[in-house]
Amino acid sequence: MSVFVIAEIGINHNGDINIAKKLIDGALFAGCNAVKLQKRTVEKVYTKKELEKPRESPWGATNRAQKLGLEFGEKEYDEINKYCKERGIEWFASAWDIDSQMFLRKYNCKYNKVASAMLTHKALLERIAEEKKYTFISTGMSTLEEIEKAIDIFKKAECPFELMHCNSSYPVEDSDLNLRTIEFLREHFQCKVGYSGHEVGLIPTCAAVTLGASSIERHITLNRSMYGSDQSASVEVMGFYRLTKYIEAILAALGTGEKTIDEKEQQVKKKLRRVETLLTQ
């Protein structure tokens, strides 16, 4: 496919490496180009006040317990790196702090990702851009001025990138998606623009492809009813399989845009066209 399809595992693994492996297998089955995770240094990303807030979860009764329970460390990432290499699929992760980005460098992933929440984190963006790896930049919650400042960092570092249109609600209503922003961002910034979707269903994502999205990112899950804040806006494995097939069909159907009569239609023309006088009058 000429559209790069990313299965966002994110934190849908629920802190379980076996679930993560099943999601990697699911992404492979669905025909995705890569899987993506998220990496945080919990104590640096969140304030002490935020971490101490009560929150019931499988890991305890505070935000801290929940965040730490969802976070993979070096042991799990070593295993993910090995598993993805064995299975033949690219993986990468969005870092939510500088320490996490430095941690990820160990794995020499082919791609980087700037999460929407991190788009204004100048120091983090500079660390990402200095690696000069192809970077996907999500634009949820961001103004044009903020996006432009982020782009300037990557251009200055001569780091290749593309934007991803995104609405950061989970899940987002179809009426709030504003998919035509894909076209606007592409024209305004003269760069590739993909789509990172958090809607329920597949139709808007397919529409993004027809609008010229160069990449597609959707969260993948084993079951949308599983524990987790992202699960309801995710796509189950068979749904992801259908999505990649829909994208292939859309790309085939869009064609070149040039008006022609192909060989198959020429045969039909010989049978059905009875009068050809317009061009001779």
Tens of pLDDT, residues 45-67: 999 999 999 999 999 999 999 99
Within-domain flag for 114 = yes
**pLDDT at residue number 1:** 60
Mean predicted confidence (pLDDT) in 152-174: 97
With 0-12 / 13-18 / 19 or more C-beta atoms within 10 angstroms meaning exposed / middle / buried, residue 227 is exposed
Mean predicted confidence (pLDDT) in 149-168: 98
Kindly tell me if the per-residue pLDDT of 138 is higher than 80.
yes
Closest to 112 (Cα-Cα) out of 208, 191, 36? 36
**pLDDT at residue number 23:** 98
Within-domain flag for 118 = yes
Mean predicted confidence (pLDDT) in 10-14: 97
| Average pLDDT of the chain to the nearest whole number | 96
Least-confidence region, from 36-45, 85-94, 112-121, 263-272: 263-272
Within-domain flag for 279 = no
Within-domain flag for 196 = yes
Mean predicted confidence (pLDDT) in 104-126: 98
With 0-12 / 13-18 / 19 or more C-beta atoms within 10 angstroms meaning exposed / middle / buried, residue 131 is middle
Whole-number percent of the chain with pLDDT over 90:
94
Q: Which CATH number does the domain housing residue 146 bear?
A: 3.20.20.70
**pLDDT at residue number 42:** 96
User: CA 117 → CA 73, 120, 168, 192, 217, distances in Å?
Assistant: 21, 8, 9, 20, 16
Kindly tell me if the per-residue pLDDT of 5 is higher than 80.
yes
Closest to 2 (Cα-Cα) out of 276, 244, 269, 257? 244
**pLDDT at residue number 103:** 98
Q: How far apart are CA 129 and CA 205, in angstroms?
A: 28
Does a cis peptide bond (omega within 30 degrees of 0) precede residue 171? yes
Q: How far apart are CA 171 and CA 176, in angstroms?
A: 10
Mean predicted confidence (pLDDT) in 6-35: 98
Within-domain flag for 277 = no
Kindly tell me if the per-residue pLDDT of 191 is higher than 70.
yes
Render pLDDT for 178-190 as a digit per residue (tens, 0 to 9).
999 999 999 999 9
Task: Pull the structure tokens for residue 114.
Answer: 């700037």
Under 8 Å CB-to-CB from 36, ≥6 apart: which residues? 6, 7, 8, 9, 10, 91, 92, 93, 94, 113, 217
pTM as predicted: 0.95
Q: How far apart are CA 30 and CA 41, in angstroms?
A: 31
> What is the count of structural domains for the chain?
1
Under 8 Å CB-to-CB from 58, ≥6 apart: which residues? 14, 69, 227
Whole-number percent of the chain with pLDDT over 70:
97
Within-domain flag for 217 = yes
Within-domain flag for 280 = no
Within-domain flag for 278 = no
Range 146-179 burial, b when 16+ CB lie within 10 A, else e: ebeebbebbeebebebbbbbbbeeebbeeeebeb
Kindly tell me if the per-residue pLDDT of 277 is higher than 80.
no
**pLDDT at residue number 281:** 54
Q: Which domain range does residue 64 map to? A: 4-272
Residue 273 — pLDDT band, cuts 50, 70, 90? confident
CA atoms within 13 A on the CB side of 86: 9
